[in-house]
Amino acid sequence: MDLTPVALLVSIISVSLSADNAGGKARSCADMRQFYSGKGFTLNGVPQSEISGEHLRICPQGYTCCTSAMEETLSNLSRREFEGLVREAGRSIQASLNAQYRTFDTYFLELLNDSERWLEEAFLAALGDLYRPNAGVFRDLYGDLRRYYSNVPLNLEEVLDEFWMKLLERLLKASDPETASLLSDDFLECASKQTETLHPFGDAPRELKAKLVRAFVGARAFVRGLNAAGEIVRKVSQVPLSLECNRAIMKLVYCPHCRGFGSVKPCANYCKNVMKGCLANQADLDTEWQSLIEIMLQVASSFAAEPSMDTVIYSIPVRISEAVVAMQENMEIYTSKVFKLCGDRGEDGTPSSISEEPKKKASTVTAVEYKPSHKAAARLEVQVTDVSSKLKEMQFYWIQLPSALCSGKTSSSDEKCWNGMSKASYLPEVMGDGLANQINNPEVEIDITKPDRTIRQQIMLLKIMSNRLRNALNGNDVDFQDTSDDFSGSGSGMCADQLCIRGRPPVFGPKNDRPNHFAYGPNNKKVKSSVNQIHPSVILLVLLLAYLFLRR
């Protein structure tokens, strides 16, 4: 029998097997043993030299340094590490949103506190003990404004209407203190109702309402938007890895170690296909996420539009002073008409001693208009610029995520890289973003007809929040109460799961096709600058003195 053909066949098989085995550093598993031990696993059962890989279920079945148990252990490790990377990226975005929330919240409340403090200091200095009994009217107003901003269900227009009615009652009683106790509740209620037609305060209430409601609606909607965005990122970042993606991640990250290619990095396009497949559902957030960021940028920009937000809040005492001036000028005419409409009898039928005859008109005091300071305007500009730049950085977060997770972990060579089977080039094209584009993904088997339910819910919440911010931008009051179960609540600052980390900036920068690195950038810096304090004019002091207690 001629053994030449048989010998030739055996020789070819032997050479083929030897070539397959030559991909690593000889047949030793020393590198793999060191790597495996470095991950914290015991070396029991780890081969000293390469073995046949028919037992492998994920990695290529050539010569290998991995047993079935090792493959399963590394597969579980790859899942934990990948989910950890996604959560960490999400935490970085949450930290940025949280920092913006704190900065804006602090700034806005400082505006409100300064406005109230200036009013109180001026009134107290002018009136002393006479101011204290009436101070509650103004404190209640500022308290209600704070509660509205913190998402307490209040109707802001009703809050302002109630304030003017309380102020009117105090002024009516102050106009003749000797008979103030004789005014019945029915009379005062009737007198308050006449404000809609008699306008005792002039145009000040209407002007204050129009500007203040728009400023507070926008500010409250903005912080709710920051809050909602952070909570959506948190929930999406916790979506577990599917079985198919787990296999793909294992093959990408640890199979080269099993094959003796531990020093070879994955091909860039190979990594992108794996990440795009595993993050396909997350990428479907992109459209609504960008829409939310865009409308938030518009809301932030509106804060600096004339009249700017700081001007409106600082002008509250000025508008009140204008109202009191108008009341002084209209007091005789107003009371005369009120007595005709509401009667002139006090409690228990006691005739009121308030005279219907016009009294001597006091000298007119003119309230000055608020003039914004350059420092206050500059601080607001810094606030708007800073928050806008941070929002723009994360506008393309979801479609940049796959490239960001691959950045720094792939080979710079398109030919000498791990392609999922060996050290060679990667030929398949890169898939598009989103679930629908993964139908032909060569690395991850995905059923595009079964989108992730949790992520679809977050997409719907993004749409809802964008619509509400759009309404707020138009000055329409927005009710956020029905989202309290979905979002982290008013003032929480996205602190769920110990995520309130100060100064941790976003992972992702401005729009790029390929982010340069997957790392943290410079620390966010909370803007701190002193506001140029603007005290009410001396005229305002005279005003309050003249009108609240003139006709004692």
Let me know: does 299 contact 228? Beta carbons within 8 Å.
no
Most confident of 330-344, 353-367, 450-464, 502-516: 450-464
User: Is the per-residue pLDDT at 481 higher than 70?
Assistant: no
Let me know: does 291 contact 378? Beta carbons within 8 Å.
no
Confidence of residue 80 (pLDDT cuts 50, 70, 90): very high
Retrieve residue 10's tokens.
């055996």
Provide the mean pLDDT of the chain.
79
Task: List pLDDT tens digits, range 168-179.
Answer: 887 777 666 555
CA-angle at 241, arms to 237 and 244, nearest 5°: 150
350-366 as b/e: b if 16+ CB within 10 A: eebebeeeeeeeeeebe
DSSP-derived pairing of the beta strands 417-418 and 423-424: antiparallel
Listed in sequence order, the residues at least 6 apart from 467 whose beta carbon sits closer than 8 Å to its beta carbon are none
Task: List pLDDT tens digits, range 448-479.
Answer: 999 999 999 999 999 999 999 999 998 888 77
Q: What are phi and psi of 417, to 5 degrees?
A: -140, 165
User: Rounded to two decimals, what is the model's pTM?
Assistant: 0.78
Q: What is the pLDDT of residue 129?
A: 67
179/187 Cα distance (integer angstroms): 13
